[in-house]
A and B are shown apart, each in its own frame.
Chain A
Amino acid sequence: MPNPLEGKRRRLGSAALALAGLVALVVTGFTLSRGGGNAATVRPIDPGAVSRLADASSPVSASATPSVAGPLWTVEPAPTPASAGPGPVRIRIAAVGIDAPVVAVGVDAGGGVQIPAAVHTVGWYRFSPPPGSTAGSTVLVGHVDSAEQGEGAFFNLHQLNKGASIVLDMPGGRAQRYQVISRAQFPKTAVPLAALFATTGAPRLTLITCGGSFDETIRSYRDNVVITAVPR
Chain B
Amino acid sequence: MKLSTLAAAAALLVPLGTGLALASPAAAASGDATVSVVHGIPNTPVNVFLDGKSALQDFKPGTVAGPLSIPAGSHTITVFAASDTSGTGTPVLKTTASLQSGTNYSIVAHLTASGQPALTPYVNDVSPVAPGQARLVVRHDAAAPAVDVRANGKVAFSNLTNPNENKADLPAGTISADVVLAGTATVAIGPASLDLAEGSETIVYAIGSAGDKTLALVTQTISGLHSAPGGVDAGTGGLLDRNPGTPAWVWPVAVAAGLALMVGLVGLRSAPARVRR
Contacts and interface: CB of A to CB of B under 8 A. Distances in A.
B235 A187 contact: no
Contacts of B256: 21, 24
Contacts of A2: 272, 275
A194 B228 CA distance: 5
Instruction: Say what secondary structure dominates the interface of chain A.
Output: mixed
B260 interface: yes
Interface string A1-31: 0101001101101111111111111111101
A13 B86 CA distance: 111
A78 B185 CA distance: 28
Nearest to B274: A7
A81 B195 contact: yes
Contacts of B93: none
A111 B230 contact: yes
A121 to B, nearest CB: 12
Contact of A208 (B221, B224, B234): B234
Contacts of B56: 72-75
Contacts of B200: 82
A158 B241 CA distance: 12
A37 interface: yes
B20 A51 contact: yes
Contacts of A78: 63, 219
Interface in B220-277: 220-221, 223-224, 226-247, 250-251, 253-254, 256-268, 271-272, 275, 277
Interface size class of B (residues with CB under 8 A): 35 or more
B61 to A, nearest CB: 11
B215 interface: no
Interface in A50-102: 50-51, 54-55, 61, 64-68, 72-76, 78-79, 81-83
B247 A83 contact: no
B198 A209 contact: no
A167 to B, nearest CB: 21
B240 A155 contact: yes
A64 B67 contact: yes
A32 B17 contact: no
Contacts of B250: 28, 31-32, 35
Contact of A144 (B219, B240, B243): B240
B65, B226, B241, B275 — most chain A CB neighbours (10 Å): B241
B54 interface: yes
B172, B229, B250, B261 — most chain A CB neighbours (10 Å): B229
B150 to A, nearest CB: 20
A197 B229 contact: yes
B184 interface: no
Contact of B235 (A24, A33, A184, A209): A209
Interface string B10-37: 1001111111111111101000001011
A132 interface: no
A74 to B, nearest CB: 6
A83 B195 contact: yes
Contacts of B68: 65-66, 68, 72-73
Interface string B192-204: 0001011110100
Interface of B: 2-3, 6, 9-10, 13-26, 28, 34, 36-37, 48, 50, 53-56, 59-60, 63-71, 130-132, 172, 174, 195, 197-200, 202, 219-221, 223-224, 226-247, 250-251, 253-254, 256-268, 271-272, 275, 277
Given A14-B267, A73-B36, A145-B238, 13 more contacts: A21-B259, A21-B261, A21-B264, A24-B254, A39-B243, A41-B14, A78-B219, A79-B219, A82-B197, A110-B230, A145-B235, A192-B20, A223-B15
9 contacts: A25-B257, A44-B18, A51-B23, A83-B197, A141-B234, A148-B236, A185-B18, A188-B233, A210-B233
